[in-house]
Amino acid sequence: MEHTLTLEIDGGEPLSDASVKAVGELCDRAEDRSGSGVVTVYVTGAPVGAWTSSLDVMLVSKWERALRRLECLPVATIAVADGDCGGTALDAFLAADIRVAILGTRLLIPRDGSSATWPGMAGYRLVQLAGAARIRRAVLFGLPIEAPDALALGIADELVGDPAQAVAAAAGLVSGLSGKQLAIQRRLLFDATSTSFEDALGPHLAACDRALRIAAGEAS
């Protein structure tokens, strides 16, 4: 199995500078490996009560940028969700390439301490994965997404009882793949939902040219 870097995120803990730092340091270690290995993030917990009281927009921006860095790493990322997952736990889960939910998991967009659900980027990622119509009750009203529904909607890729076996199987999917090439493919995948054919053609041709040059170099 590919060497794995791991991080545990407790969504029950308030977002803090320490949360941002932990994700940043994980990304540092992953990038230092030059595209080899796998990153696995274990997430659990959801915020309750007045959990936004210590937040400000600057901290939220730092967190979202750290998540985007995790989402675009030149290595494969696996997230394993267990129990109720909201806040930072849900954010990190949705940012992974491969998302595994343990039986009994529920995904939640928490309320922001008032009468509204938290308007963070988790809602954006959920819509990108499942579509606005199928996810609106969770985003607008905070209804939990049960594990079987997450699987049916494509939010989770696997529903398992044994997370260790699932992580090993997921890591096997990316064994031997180029991390840099994976990052390029991921970027093309992200852009496909919002880019016209004409605008997408150039980046795809550039990626094809890069792959051909690498293959030619390996064959020579």
- pLDDT surpassing 60 at residue 2: no
Q: Which residue has the higher pLDDT, 107 or 166?
A: 107
Q: Which residue has the higher pLDDT, 111 or 101?
A: 101
Amino acid sitting at position 51: W
Is residue 36 domain-shared with residue 13, that is, in the same domain? yes
Is residue 63 domain-shared with residue 151, that is, in the same domain? yes
**Confidence grade of residue 113 (pLDDT, cut at 50, 70, 90):** low
Is residue 191 domain-shared with residue 105, that is, in the same domain? no
Round the average pLDDT of the chain to a whole number and report it: 88
Is residue 96 domain-shared with residue 202, that is, in the same domain? no
- pLDDT surpassing 90 at residue 49: no
Tens digit of each residue's pLDDT (9 = 90 or more) over 165-212: 878 877 777 766 767 777 878 888 888 888 888 888 888 888 888 877
Is residue 136 domain-shared with residue 191, that is, in the same domain? no
Is residue 104 domain-shared with residue 212, that is, in the same domain? no
pTM: 0.88
Is residue 183 domain-shared with residue 119, that is, in the same domain? no
Query: Alpha-carbon distance 65 to 52, whole Å?
Result: 18
H helices of the chain, in order, are 17-32, 57-71, 88-94, 121-130, 132-141, 147-153, 163-174, 179-192, 197-219
What number of residues does the chain have?
Answer: 220
Domain span including residue 214: 179-219
Is residue 45 domain-shared with residue 100, that is, in the same domain? yes
